[in-house]
Chain A
Amino acid sequence: DSGVTQTPKHLITATGQRVTLRCSPRSGDLSVYWYQQSLDQGLQFLIQYYNGEERAKGNILERFSAQQFPDLHSELNLSSLELGDSALYFCASSVGLDVGEQYFGPGTRLTVT
C-alpha cells in the first residue's frame, strides 16, 4: 500500500457525460500528479499540482481539468467523454516540487460506453 488513495475504483459511464475522479496523496506529500494509461499503453502524464497550484502540464485535453484543494486532495474532471477516454487513471504523489520519488494510487478504471 503506497498511502495514496483513489476513488472510485471503477466507473462506467456513457459518451458525452462528465465524471470526477478523486485522489488523496500520502500524508505529508504536497505534489499530486495525474496520469492516463490506456490498454497496453504506457503512462501519459496529464498534470501536476503542488500545494494547491498547477505546476506542470502534459498532454491533457481541454475537456479535462483538475484542481488541488487546501487539504491537498485532488480531483480530475473529465467532460464530454468519448470512447477513447476509456483508460486507467492514476494519481501519484511526492513530497516536494522537484521530480523525485512518486508513489502511485491504485487507479480508477474508467469505461465509456
Chain B
Amino acid sequence: GENVEQHPSTLSVQEGDSAVIKCTYSDSASNYFPWYKQELGKRPQLIIDIRSNVGEKKDQRIAVTLNKTAKHFSLHITETQPEDSAVYFCADGTEKLTFGTGTRLTIIP
C-alpha cells in the first residue's frame, strides 16, 4: 500500500458494547488487509485478515469488512471485554504491508 488512514486514534467503549475502527487505503492494487493487536510493550499479533476477493470475515467476536469500491475496511469487535484494551493497527499491501497509525482502544469496566 501507499498510504493508510486509520480512525479514530483513541476509542473508549463500555464493557459489553461494540467497537468499530476504520481504515482507508489509497493503493487500488492492495489485495491483503490484516488487523494487528498490540498490547503495551508486546509484539503486534495478527487477529484477523481479509483478502480483496472477500467482503466480510468473522472470527467469534471479531469481524472485518472490506469495501473495495470505497477503498475502506473496518474492524468490528462485539461484546467487548477488558482484555480487548490495546492498540489496534490496520494494514494493507501487495508486496509489502503499510500500517495505519493505530487506534488505542480502552474498554471501561
Chain B CB within 10 Å — which of A55, A99, A100 has the most? A99
Q: Does A105 contact B (CB under 8 A)?
A: yes
Q: Contact size class for B?
A: 20 to 34
Known A-B contacts A42-B99, A45-B98, A48-B96; the reply to A101 vs B46 at CB < 8 A is yes
Chain B 1-59 interface residues, beta-carbon cutoff 8 Å to A: 31-32, 34, 36, 42-46, 49
Which label, helix, strand, loop or mixed, suits the secondary structure of the B interface? strand
Bound form: Cα–Cα A45–B100 in Å:
12
Q: Which residues of B contact A48 (CB under 8 A)?
A: 96
Asked if A99 contacts B93 (CB within 8 A), the reply is yes
Within 8 Å by CB of B46, from A43, A44, A98, A102, lies: A102
| B6 CB to nearest A CB, Å | 8
Q: Which residues of A contact B99 (CB under 8 A)?
A: 42-45
Asked if B94 contacts A90 (CB within 8 A), the reply is no
Q: Does A8 contact B (CB under 8 A)?
A: no
Chain A 35-87 interface residues, beta-carbon cutoff 8 Å to B: 41-45, 48, 55-56, 58
